[in-house]
Every structure is written in C-alpha cells, then in structure tokens.
Amino acid sequence: MDLPLEMDSGAVADEAVGEQMDLGLEPDAEVTSAAATEASSATQMELELESEDTDADLAELRASVVTETVDSAELEEALGQASIWGAGAVGQGRDFETLEKANIAGNYPVIDNFEPEDGFATSMKTMDLAGRSYAEDPAAVRNTLLDYIDDLSDFEGRTWHQDDVTIKVAPEDIEWRELDLAIPAGKATAEQLAVLAECRNYAADKGVALTIKEVP
C-alpha cells in the first residue's frame, strides 16, 4: 500500500485498521496497538497544553490579586522559623502580627496597629486557604473575609486597658483603614483568588484597603 508522504504515523495506523475492517478482517494487533498509542499520545498532549493554559491563567490571576509576597529569608530573620502555618489560628495570627511589627498587642478589639500621626488603623488577619474548611468551600473564604472587612469599616475606636497600659483610639483619630490578610504562599486556588478579588472591591466600597500578602 502506497502511503501519502504527509500522513503521520497515527493517520497511517488508523487507515490500516480501517482497511482491514473494510475487508472483513480482524485488525492486526500491532496496527491496532499503534493506533491506540497515537490516540493516547494526542490526548496526553492536549491535556498538557490545557494544563499549561490553566497554570498561566492562575499565575495571571494571582499576580492581579496578591499585593505582596513575603520572602522566606525575611520570615526566618523576623521569627526564626520557616513558616507561620501549622500552629493553628492563634499561633499563625500571633506570628503574622510579629512579622508585621504590630504595635497594639493583646486583645484590643479589631485593630492590631495604629499610627496616630497619620490616623492609619490596621487590622491583621490570617487565612490558611489550604485548610479543609476554606479549601472545600470558597464561600467560607468570602463569608469570613466580609466579616473582617465589616468589623474594620464599622470600627470607631475604643479605650482599652491591658497590662497596666491604657490604649485609646478615638473616632476622630482614624483617617485610614487597612486590612492586611496573610495567606499561604502559592496555595490559593483560582476560585479562592476570584473570591479575594471580589472581596477587595467590597472592601473599597466600605472604605477599607484590603492588602493580600503571601507568607511562607
């Protein structure tokens, strides 16, 4: 059988199988195997291309959502450890506040840092997106983050006594509100990133600047 030069091996194998079936013959096992192999290879190539496209889309989305990525060396220098994650909500929250040099410690409500000279009030939160509750339900990410945003937007200051120190923030002292959210570096899914982008828009409407930081 003369074959057109431009036909690839997969097309040749498929044609050979077709001709054998047209003649009422059982397709040769070797030819059938070749056709199946070529089909499998083509499918694998398509999947790889789709995966590359998906990875590129995810990287682009991540770049548009994430404000800052904390360097591992910076974390190691500040905390003497490689990661803030895995210590539970309280532990990771405390570590993030230390990393960010929060100037209001303890249980002062809503905010963790206040700069009286410019009226900058900052709330610092962590969200382990790889944790089961957030990984399985992006709506949980939205609901939790909206609560954080609402709390900061509604915050009108407070006088607080702790450790023999009085911390006073009056409503008129607050000029700017920022929510710093720490998420695990490289763990956010496309769905989660989309939710974070949505929440950033909501925060802006509420007078809150949402900063998203990837932390090792």
Residue 213 has pLDDT above 80, yes or no: yes
Rg (CA), the chain: 28
* pLDDT surpasses 50 at 6: no
Whether 21 has a pLDDT exceeding 90, the answer reads: no
Which of 123-132, 159-168, 179-188 shows the lowest mean pLDDT across its residues?
159-168
- Strands in 209-215's sheet, in edge-to-edge order, are 68-69, 209-215, 176-184, 120-126, 113-115
Domain 68-215 has CATH 3.40.50.300: no
Amino acid at 91: G
Q: Give CA–CA dist 194/33, Å, rounded.
A: 44
- Residue 55, pLDDT score: 84
Q: What does the longest C-alpha to C-alpha distance in the chain come to? A: 97
For residue 116, pLDDT over 60 is answered with: yes
Give the pLDDT confidence score for residue 43 in this predicted structure: 74
CA atoms of 197 and 203, how far apart (whole Å): 10
In whole numbers, what is the pLDDT of the chain averaged over residues? 86
Comparing C-alpha atoms, which of 214, 216, 215, 207 is closest to residue 193? 214
pLDDT at 106: 77
3-state secondary structure the chain: CCCCCCCCHHHHHHHHHHHHHHCCCCCCHHHHHHHHHHHHHHHHHHHHHHHHHHHHHHHHHHHHHCCEECCHHHHHHHHCCCCCCCCHHHHHHHHHHHHCCCCCCCCCCCCCEEECCCCEEEEEEECCCCCHHHHHCHHHHHHHHHHHHHHHHHCCCEEEEECCEEEEECHHHCCEEEEEEEEECCCCCHHHHHHHHHHHHHHHHCCCEEEEEEEC
Q: Which pTM was predicted?
A: 0.75
pLDDT recorded at residue 30: 63
Q: Read off the pLDDT band of 7 (50, 70, 90).
A: very low
pLDDT for res 145: 98
> Per-residue confidence at 5, pLDDT binned at 50, 70, 90?
very low
Dist. CA 102–CA 14, nearest whole Å? 68
Measure CA of the first residue to CA of the last residue in the chain; give whole Å.
62
164-172 average pLDDT score: 92
Q: What is the mean pLDDT of residues 46-50?
A: 60
- Do residues 179 and 152 make contact, with C-beta atoms less than 8 angstroms apart? yes
Domain boundaries, the chain: 9-64, 68-215
Residue 87: pLDDT band with limits 50, 70, 90: confident
Mean pLDDT, residues 29-48: 65
Distance, CA of 96 to CA of 4 (rounded, Å): 66
